[in-house]
Structure 1
Amino acid sequence: MNSPHYILLPANPLFIVSSLVLAFLLNLLPWGHWVGVPDFVALVLVFWSIHQPRKVGIGIAFMMGLLMDVHDASLLGENALSYTLLSYFAIMIHRRVLWFKIPTQATHVLPLLLFMQTVQLVVRMLVSGKFPGWSYFLESIVAAALWPIVSAILLAPQRRAINRDDTRPI
């Protein structure tokens, strides 16, 4: 038998904003030069673009990209372009992805993250002409591996109680 599909509570906009801020703060930590550290903003943007496409869309992805451009001191618009395309394609497939279980969702998210990194790489190579090496794409693989954990954490406030009783309203 398939596991039951739970009815989720509506997402709290304050929780969405706080998760995006926390992801941005995680990206601000000085581990950006380590190989394989995922882009937390991209991961949270993909999650909310899939689960709440009407609340988190291309405009928020663009603004978060500009913030990351300023933080990284990179070419202005590099992250904004890649996050915008990431959000767009995540919104395009959001209905399909939600039908699958979490591990299969991670396999759908991986090409999105790889595409985002490819866009960033193309922009960087057009400007500087330097290829960072194939380990550059390890970031997307680690982010896709973290998808089940991120999904569990970000969906936790929306889960309804399994055993309903008279003392709980929902």
Structure 2
Amino acid sequence: MNSPKNKIHPIGDNLDTFRPSFLFVWGSLFFAWLFSLLPWRTWEGSPDLLILVIAYWFAHNVPGMGFVVAIIVGLLMDVFDTTLLGSHSLNYILVLAGIALMRQRTMQYSVLVQFIVVLPIFIFASLPSHLFESWLHGYWGGWSWLISGLITSALWIVVDIIFKFFGTVHYEQG
């Protein structure tokens, strides 16, 4: 008699709840890291799938997904890309800081509103690292990093659909 279908639910409440499992969350992070190791990642305007997955799980208050994971994964990506050590970590930390400021209000709205909120976060979080790298190289690297932030933000909708489809517990109504 303790099955979830016998518990009290609000009127109009859908019995499908979004409770991703531990393996699903960390498995998705692992596969995003593997996709980030592919060579297409260095193309102009390619989205950063790793920060997208980290930010998504951070926005949904998944235990263990936070700033420490962002720093470690960012340092791993810096070592893999042979870039300035800490540039990915800085980008990832700024994204998570922006998500932390807005997640209480925005996670209750639709995914389109969430897209509008995360768009400036993904675009402007990479600005300091690009400015610093341009200063070190001695020339401006261009504006192609804006396209990457726009595509990463647009993929928030796709990731939300995929993760909520596979991470939702479906209860039978009886």
Q: Same fold (TM over 0.5)?
A: yes
Match of 2:107 in 1: 98
Match of 1:130 in 2: 139
Mind listing any 5+ residue stretches in structure 2 that lack a counterpart?
1-11
Q: CA deviation at 1:45?
A: 1.3
CA distance in 2, matches of 1:10, 1:31: 32
TM-score (norm 1): 0.86
CA distance in 1, matches of 2:16, 2:102: 20
CA distance in 1, matches of 2:15, 2:131: 41
Match of 1:152 in 2: 161
1:105/1:49 Cα in 2 relative to 1: closer, same or farther (>3 Å)?
Answer: same
* Count of aligned pairs between the two proteins: 163
Match of 2:56 in 1: 47
Match of 1:118 in 2: 127
SS in 1 for 2:166: helix
Match of 2:151 in 1: 142
Q: CA deviation at 1:113?
A: 0.5
1:130/1:32 Cα in 2 relative to 1: closer, same or farther (>3 Å)?
Answer: farther
TM-score (norm 2): 0.84
Q: CA deviation at 1:5?
A: 6.7
Q: CA deviation at 1:85?
A: 1.9
Match of 1:65 in 2: 74
Match of 1:10 in 2: 19
The RMSD of aligned alpha carbons is 2.0
Larger Rg: 2
Question: Any runs of at least 4 consecutive aligned residues in structure 1 with deviations exceeding 3 A, and if so which?
Answer: 3-7
Mind listing any 5+ residue stretches in structure 1 that lack a counterpart?
166-170
* Greater length-normalized contact order (CA 8 Å, ≥ 6 residues apart): 2
CA distance in 2, matches of 1:156, 1:44: 15
